[in-house]
A and B are shown apart, each in its own frame.
Chain A
Amino acid sequence: MEEDTFPVLEVRNLYVTRSKDLVIEDASFAIHRGDYVGIVGPNGGGKTTLLLALLKLLPKEKGSVRFFGEDIESFSHWERVAYVSQDAVNFDTHFPLTVRELVALGRINSTNLGRRFNQDDWNAVDKAIEFMGISNIAGRRIGQLSGGQKQRVFVAKALVRNPEIIIMDEPVTGVDASTQERFYKRLSNLNTSKGITILIVSHDLTAVFCRMSKVMCVNRAVNVSDITKDLDPNKALRWAYGEHFHFVFHKHTCQRMFNDE
C-alpha cells in the first residue's frame, strides 16, 4: 500500500488520563493530507491533553495513534511533524536569541544531532523567514518582538523543518483581533500553497468556520465534522459546549471578517 493513501494522522479508540482522571475517552478520527482542522471545545475539555498524547509527549492509556500509517510507538520521522506549543510565545524575554537563531533551531532532527548547521540549513531558515514575512526582523532579539511577530516567528520555526503536518496549540492567545485575522490568513496560504496539513486549537469560532475545512470538537470525547459540507455550526458546537450554546454565524460573516477572499 502506498504511503500517500494513509491518513496523515489516524487515531483509534484513544484513552488518555491525567492524574488518574480520564481526560480523553474513546477518541477515533482521521486527518487527511491538506486538511485544515480547527480544534475547539471548552476549557479543561482535553484539547491540549489530546495534542500531547498525539505527539507522544504524554502517555496514552490505550488505543492507537498513527502518523502516515505508522504507530507512534515505532514512528521515528518526527521531522515530518511540527508542533507549536501553547507556551511557545511565553518564553523568557531576556533569552539571548535572535529571530534567525531561533528559527534555525527548528532544523534540528534525529538525523543531524551533533553536527553543525550547513548552508542548506541556513538557506531553509532564510526561506521560512521570508515566507512568513519577517525578514525585516531576522536579526532582532526575540524578547523585543510584539505578540503578532512572535507567532510568525514560531510558525517559521515549525515551517523550517519542511513538515507535512503542523500542530498548533492556541497560538493566537493574547493578541488583538486584526493580528489574529492576519495570522489565520497566513495559515490559509500555508495550507493551500504548500499543502501542509494544519491542526490548530482555537477559540476563534468565526475563524474556524470561515477558514478551515474541518472542526474537531473536544470535550472528553472527540467529534470531527466536515465544514465544507453544509455543516450547521451550532449542531457541531453544542455537542462540545452544551445545549445552551448559541453561535450566531452566517456564511457572509466570513466576507465581512476576512475581506481578502
Chain B
Amino acid sequence: MNELWHLGLFIFRLFNYRFFQFALLGGTIAALACALVGLFIILRKESMIGDGIAHMSFGGIALGLYLGVQPLLTALALSIVSVLAISYMRKKGLAQSDSAIAVMLAIGFSSGLIIISLAGGFNVELFSYLFGSILTIDQLDLLLISILGVSALLFIGVFYKELLSMTFDEESSRLMGIPIDALSIGFNVLVAVTIVLSIKVVGMILVVALLVLPGLAALQLNLSFKGTTIASIAFGVASVLAGIFISALCDVATSGVIVFTAVGFFIFAATYRRLG
C-alpha cells in the first residue's frame, strides 16, 4: 500500500516538471495526427510511404544540423519535396508507388549519410532524431509540433468525407466532383507533416509504427468508420501516454515503450477478433 502511495506521488510530481508537460502535450498531438492520418494510409494500402518519407526526413535532419537551422524545418521541406516527387513519378508513369517510395527512401538516406560525413560524423543530437527523444521536447519543438499537428487535424477534419470517398472508390469520387489530384497531393503533404511532427516523439526509425499500428489495431474491431477512427485515436494516444509514464517509471527508452504498447494493443485487438 505504501509503495502504491509513493508511486502515485511520483507520478503526481512528474506533472510539475515542464519537460514532462511538454512531452505529454507534444506526444498527444503527434499520436492524434498519426492515428488519423495512419488510418487513411492503411486503407489506401500505402503504409510504406511513411517509411520512405521518414528516411527522406533523415537527410533533412542532417542538413538542418549541418547548416545550424531547426532540423525539423529542413526535414519538413525535404519530406514535402519527396512526397511531391513520389506523386510526380506515379502520375507520369515513371515508377509504381512502391518503386517511387524506394527511390526517395534511398535518396533521403544516402544524402543524410553524405552530409553526416561532411560534418565529421554522428553526434548525440542526430541520435535523438533517429530514435526519438520525447522528454527533451523544448518550447520551440512544441510550438512547431502544435502548428503542424493542428494543421494536420484541420485538414482531416475539413476533408474527412472527401478523403474517405477517394480512399474507397477513386473513379466514382472523381465523377462526384472531388478534386482527386489536388486532394491526393494535399494528403501526401499531410503525411509528410505528420511524420516530421512525430520524429521527436518516436524517432525516424519507429515513426511508421506510430502511424500504422493504432489504425491496424482499430481495424481488427470490425467497427463503423466513425468507430474505427475513434478506436484508432484511443489506441494511439494511449500508446504514447503509457509509453511516457512507463518509461519514466522504469527508466527505459520512451519511443521503444510507445511502440511496444502499440504492438500490445494490436495483439489484444487481433486476439479479441479471433475469439469474438
Contact = CB atoms under 8 A, between A and B. Distances in A.
Name which of B43, B158, B161, B174 has the most chain A CB atoms within 10 A of its CB.
B161
A98 B161 contact: no
Contacts of A139: 224
Nearest to B224: A98
Contacts of A108: 161-162, 165, 173, 176-178
A57 B171 CA distance: 8
Contact of B224 (A96, A110, A113): A96
Contacts of B171: 57, 85, 87
Contacts of A104: 161
B182 to A, nearest CB: 10
A117 B161 contact: yes
Interface stretch (A17-25, A76-84, A185-193, A241-249): A76-84
A116 B162 CA distance: 10
Nearest to A92: B43
Given A57-B174, A79-B177, A88-B169, A95 B43 contact: yes
A111 to B, nearest CB: 8
A105 B165 contact: yes
A210 interface: no
Contacts of B223: 96
Interface string B141-179: 000000000000000001111101100110111111111
Contacts of A204: none
Given A108-B161, A108-B162, A114-B162, A88 B176 contact: no
B175 A96 contact: no
Interface in A126-183: 139, 141, 161
Contacts of A87: 171
B137 interface: no
B175 A57 contact: yes
Contacts of A113: 159, 162, 177-179
Contacts of B176: 78-79, 106, 108-110, 161
Interface string B221-256: 011111110000000000000000000000000000
A83 B161 CA distance: 18
A55 interface: yes
Name which of A94, A113, A116 has the most chain B CB atoms within 10 A of its CB.
A113
Contacts of A30: none
A70 interface: no
Contact of A55 (B161, B175, B227): B175
B273 to A, nearest CB: 11
Contacts of B178: 108, 113
Nearest to A121: B161
A106 B228 CA distance: 20
Contacts of A110: 176-177
A231 interface: no
A102 interface: yes
B225 A96 contact: yes
A105 B177 CA distance: 12
Interface string A15-40: 00000000000000000000000000
29 contacts: A78-B175, A79-B176, A79-B177, A81-B175, A85-B171, A85-B172, A87-B171, A88-B172, A91-B168, A95-B168, A96-B43, A96-B227, A97-B164, A97-B168, A98-B225, A101-B224, A101-B226, A105-B165, A108-B161, A113-B159, A113-B177, A114-B158, A114-B159, A116-B160, A116-B161, A117-B161, A139-B224, A141-B222, A161-B176
Minimum-distance CB pairs A-B, first 6:
A110-B177, A96-B228, A98-B224, A105-B165, A114-B158, A96-B225
Given A97-B168, A97-B225, A113-B162, 20 more contacts: A57-B175, A91-B168, A95-B168, A96-B222, A98-B224, A98-B225, A101-B224, A102-B168, A105-B164, A108-B165, A108-B177, A109-B177, A110-B176, A113-B159, A113-B178, A114-B162, A116-B160, A117-B161, A141-B222, A141-B224
